[in-house]
Amino acid sequence: MPIIELRDVSKLYGFGDATTVALDEVNLSIEEGEFIAVMGPSGSGKSTLMNIIGLLDRPTHGNYLLNGRSVDRLRPRRRAKARRDTIGFVFQSFNLLPRLTVLENVALPLAYKGVSLNKRLKMAERILERVGMQEREYYYPKQLSSGQTQSAAIARALVNNPKIIIADEPTGNLDSAASRLVMELFAEIHRTGTTVLLVTHNPELTRYATRVVYMHDGDIISDEHTDLGEVAKTARKVMYTIPTTSEEDDLAGVSALMHAVPGPREHARPKTKKHKKSSRKNSHARAKKRVKV
């Protein structure tokens, strides 16, 4: 049974003419223990996908099964509980609280669970040791290097012992040495059986992944299983060949909108979606052609 299953999941922002299709009927099935790298150009829907999988956001359409159970209709409290119990987040901007020490930051998620203070600090200590940060327990975030800050944020994500770690560009603000340190931590987390979802713009980091999903315009356009230690072939190729929507596409789309005489069905649909779909088809076809080479 997949730990994560998305069925025809769409996410639309805005209304009418201003509708943006951030995700366009995405299907994705993830087994426990996979390490998935999610790639794609800016605006292709990577963070939207992560936020939906991480229960930070809801799809506009479609179904999401987490651990085989539908989470579409969960009430806010149960959603928050499912999120707390199952998912750990790591973001590009670290998001540590500046007035708390590293130890207090890492222990914080346990407070929401009602764990006693003593126990919280003990658990946080253990996790900080695991990420090699035991000597920085009493530092404040501003006293840490960016690599150490991200290690502390990873410790915080791990403290609830989540089955899934979602990391949205966790190395985006790190130099290459710090990125390596952080990626080794993810590799170690993965070795213990945790499912890891990593958004990255760096094809090199697909070496750590067992599968690489490539997004474009709200769609998954490539999904490749890879061997640990190797850079995914398609990830490297598509990375440098897919153009974002070209000016030509945009002009063709605008011109099509201006000339189209909408039929009765088309009135019901947001125009931008139609425009976006048609321009996506063009670039999609181009992308496919190039990936095949």
Interaction site with ligand ATP (CB under 6 A): 13-14, 20, 22, 40, 42-48
Judged by beta carbon, residue 84 or residue 201, the one nearer ligand ATP is 201
Q: Is 44 in the site for Mg ion (CB under 5 A)?
A: no
Q: Could you tell which of ligand ATP, Mg ion, none binds residue 20, using a CB distance below 5 to 8 A set by kind? A: ligand ATP
The span from the CA of 225 to the CA of 119, in Å, is 40
Residue 276: name the closest of 217, 226, 234, 220 by CA: 217
Strand 219-225 and strand 211-216: the pairing is: antiparallel
Rounded to the nearest whole angstrom, what is the least distance from the CB of residue 191 to ligand ATP in the complex?
27
Amino acid at 277: K
Q: Is 202 in the site for Mg ion (CB under 5 A)?
A: no
Judged by beta carbon, residue 22 or residue 181, the one nearer ligand ATP is 22
Rounded to the nearest whole angstrom, what is the least distance from the CB of residue 209 to ligand ATP in the complex?
17
Judged by beta carbon, residue 47 or residue 150, the one nearer Mg ion is 47
The three-state secondary structure class of 162 is: coil
Q: Is 48 in the site for Mg ion (CB under 5 A)?
A: no
* Positive or negative torsion for Cα 152, 128, 180, 241: negative
The span from the CA of 129 to the CA of 20, in Å, is 44
Amino acid at 253: G
Binding mask 152-191 toward Mg ion (x if CB under 5 A, else -) reads ----------------------------------------
